[in-house]
A and B are shown apart, each in its own frame.
Chain A
């Protein structure tokens, strides 16, 4: 299994508060991704990173920002959480050889509830 951890694993927060989720990898993979999983929608890409300080938007990026200051860490921030951001968030990595590869390895997920 690829070494990917996510923290926290569960979080309950109130509407309007900032929230940061962390993804940490020990595999030195170049690419990192944040997804959310919701019933009826499958997994949807929020943001991805193709290197340190290099990030780009995915399909559902509104209301989210990301940062990657080190190869091993990719942070997802909800500046002001809303109830529509209640979801399960997954981090994924790929590109072990530093080239783009399509196969992604996922972390265990973070369940976020915004009340």
Chain B
């Protein structure tokens, strides 16, 4: 069973608009949540994270929201830029174990 699900394999957004990427997880024991960005032929790069004691964390154009009751995580990118086009993975952790979603491919259209 997948611990983490990203139900949208792809997303297209116009430049300047908001991109919203979603992630659902199954286990309420996870205490840390992360987003990674991946370009083709490269390793993932860390983007932003949030601990279970918070419900929002912001870093520039990127904001992560955590809804623990719904076991739902989202990443907002605003304004979206063409350079944001990449695959985005959410990840959850209990400290030693990490579980990644299957990724959402974001395309920002100029």
Give me the interface of A with B, judged by CB distance under 8 Å.
Answer: 4, 33, 35, 40-45, 48, 50, 56, 58-59, 90, 92, 100, 102-109
Cβ contact within 8 Å between A33 and B98: yes
B83 CB within 8 Å of chain A: no
What are 26 A-B interface contacts by the 8 Å CB criterion? A4-B43, A33-B98, A41-B102, A42-B4, A42-B6, A42-B102, A43-B89, A43-B91, A43-B100, A45-B97, A45-B98, A56-B96, A58-B97, A59-B99, A90-B43, A92-B43, A102-B32, A102-B49, A102-B93, A103-B34, A104-B46, A104-B98, A107-B43, A108-B42, A109-B41, A109-B43
CB atoms of B44 and A106 under 8 A apart: yes
Interface 0/1 of B78-100, CB less than 8 Å to A? 00000000000101010111111
Residues of B within 8 A of A109 (CB): 41-43
Interface of B (DSSP majority class): strand
Residue of B nearest to A41 (CB): B102
Complex Cα spacing A45 to B78, Å:
31
Given known pairs A106-B45, A109-B43, the reply for A42 and B97 (CB within 8 Å) is no
The residue of chain A having its C-beta at the shortest distance from the C-beta of B3 within the complex is A59
Given contacts A90-B43, A103-B46, 15 further A-B contacts (CB under 8 A): A4-B43, A35-B100, A42-B100, A45-B97, A50-B96, A56-B96, A59-B99, A102-B34, A102-B95, A103-B34, A105-B45, A108-B41, A108-B42, A109-B41, A109-B42
- Residues from chain B with a CB closer than 8 A to the CB of A108 are 41-43
Interface residues of B (CB under 8 A from A): 4, 6, 32, 34, 36, 41-46, 49, 89, 91, 93, 95-103
Nearest opposing residue in chain B for A58, CB measure: B97
Whole-angstrom distance between the alpha carbons of A59 and B41 in the complex?
24
What residues of chain A lie closer than 8 Å to B41, measured between beta carbons? 108-109
Cβ contact of B97, chosen from A4, A43, A59, A92, cutoff 8 A: A59
> A42 touching B98 by the CB < 8 A rule?
no
Chain B residues with CB below 8 A from A106, complex form: 36, 43-45
Residues of A within 8 A of B45 (CB): 105-106
